């Protein structure tokens, strides 16, 4: 496989966009420190993206409406995944949330096998094995912490993410704008519901936090929307298990940056070895010709 082939370009797009998502935790934690509660910061991230996409979908309503049911269903699962992962980060460590989410390659491969008729190669299973081993090493030697609500949300978000990606692959040529619109809509709704459940607070004053809200909106439109567009496009081409493996680049970025900026999340030598294994697991799917090895 070369990067000139559609699957090669799609794989590279997933790898790079997921790496950008690895920085997602930073503005959330930063705005939380500046008085914008974490859940409200998440809502502020996704709502501007919804507003920007709404006129795009309206002006192309005829074509978008033909795929309304599929976009609504897939958007539900991906929106739920975005919401639960974001809220999960607020209620557990960045490392634990990221690791639990990235069991998604396993869910994606199983869904692809039984729902999409995919026959996973030995190469895929090698990648999954290396990835899971890397994840285990990343949580090794850390102080034992009981499984909590944030962990549960992170685990469930990976499952929902795998279902959503499988839906994109199964449907095929679904308009990305309409799909993304529903993703952001459901993300906002789920985050609001979880905020009411975990820590109901009054919305922060926009006037008193205008600079922060403008910053959040800018990050949303300039980074969140393009990253999800890339993932949605690539998921038309690649099976969900493979997408999950390639997205492990997010693990490396998220955990590395967390270890630098959050003292209590500093990595041990064993955990760095886990990070290397995750890179190897992603590269197994990113480059090379499968027939060359198996």
- pLDDT, tens digit, 9 for 90 and up, residues 71-109: 999 999 999 999 999 888 888 877 778 777 877 777 787
Q: What pLDDT is stored for residue 4 in this prediction? A: 43
| pLDDT(294) > 50 | no
Q: What pLDDT is stored for residue 274 in this prediction? A: 74
Q: Per mean pLDDT, which of 83-97, 251-265, 276-290 is the most reliable?
A: 83-97
Mean pLDDT over 217-233 rounds to 80
Q: What pLDDT is stored for residue 293 in this prediction? A: 32
Cα 66–Cα 226–Cα 160 angle in degrees, nearest 5: 65
Domain ranges of the chain: 6-289
Please state the separation of Cα 151 from the chain's center in Å: 15
Q: What does the alpha-carbon distance between residue 44 and residue 157 come to, in Å, rounded to a whole number?
A: 20
Q: What pLDDT is stored for residue 189 in this prediction? A: 94
Q: Per mean pLDDT, which of 40-49, 136-145, 181-190, 261-270 is the most reliable?
A: 181-190
Average pLDDT, the chain: 77
Of 275, 281, 173, the C-alpha closest to 232 is 173
Q: What pLDDT is stored for residue 3 in this prediction? A: 39
Query: Which of 25-39, 45-59, 82-96 shows the lowest per-residue confidence on average (mean pLDDT)?
Result: 25-39
Share of the chain above pLDDT 90, in %: 11
Mean pLDDT over 193-197 rounds to 84
- Token pair belonging to 50: 């919804």
Query: Which of 28-42, 73-87, 148-162 shows the lowest per-residue confidence on average (mean pLDDT)?
Result: 28-42
Q: What does the alpha-carbon distance between residue 263 and residue 183 come to, in Å, rounded to a whole number?
A: 34
Task: Note if the pTM is more than 0.85.
Answer: no
Query: Which of 66-70, 147-151, 152-156, 262-266 shows the lowest per-residue confidence on average (mean pLDDT)?
Result: 262-266
């Amino acid at each position: 496989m070369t990067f000139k082939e559609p699957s090669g370009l799609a794989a590279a797009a997933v790898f790079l966009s997921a790496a950008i998502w690895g920085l997602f935790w930073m503005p959330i934690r930063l705005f939380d420190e500046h008085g914008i509660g974490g859940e409200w910061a998440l809502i502020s991230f996704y709502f501007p993206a919804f507003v920007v996409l709404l006129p795009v979908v309206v002006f192309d309503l005829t074509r978008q409406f033909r795929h309304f049911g599929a976009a609504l269903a897939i958007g539900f699962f991906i929106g739920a995944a975005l919401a639960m992962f974001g809220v999960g980060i607020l209620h557990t460590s960045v490392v634990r949330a990221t690791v639990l989410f990235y069991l998604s390659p396993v869910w994606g491969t199983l869904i692809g096998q039984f729902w999409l008729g995919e026959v996973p190669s030995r190469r895929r299973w090698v990648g999954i094995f290396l990835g899971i081993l890397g994840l285990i090493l990343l949580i090794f030697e850390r102080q034992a912490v009981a499984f909590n609500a944030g962990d549960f949300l992170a685990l469930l978000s990976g499952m929902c993410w795998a279902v959503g990606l499988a839906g994109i692959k199964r449907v095929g040529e679904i308009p990305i704008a309409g799909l993304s619109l529903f993703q952001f809509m459901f993300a906002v709704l789920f985050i609001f519901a979880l905020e009411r459940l975990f820590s109901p607070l009054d919305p922060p004053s926009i006037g008193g936090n205008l600079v922060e809200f403008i910053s959040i909106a800018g990050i949303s439109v300039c980074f969140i929307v393009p990253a999800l567009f890339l993932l949605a496009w690539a998921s038309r081409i690649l099976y969900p298990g493979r997408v999950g493996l390639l997205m492990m680049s997010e693990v490396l970025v998220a955990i590395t940056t967390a270890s630098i900026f959050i003292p209590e999340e500093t990595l041990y030598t064993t955990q760095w070895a886990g990070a290397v294994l995750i890179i190897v697991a992603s590269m197994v799917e990113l480059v090379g010709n499968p027939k060359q090895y198996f």
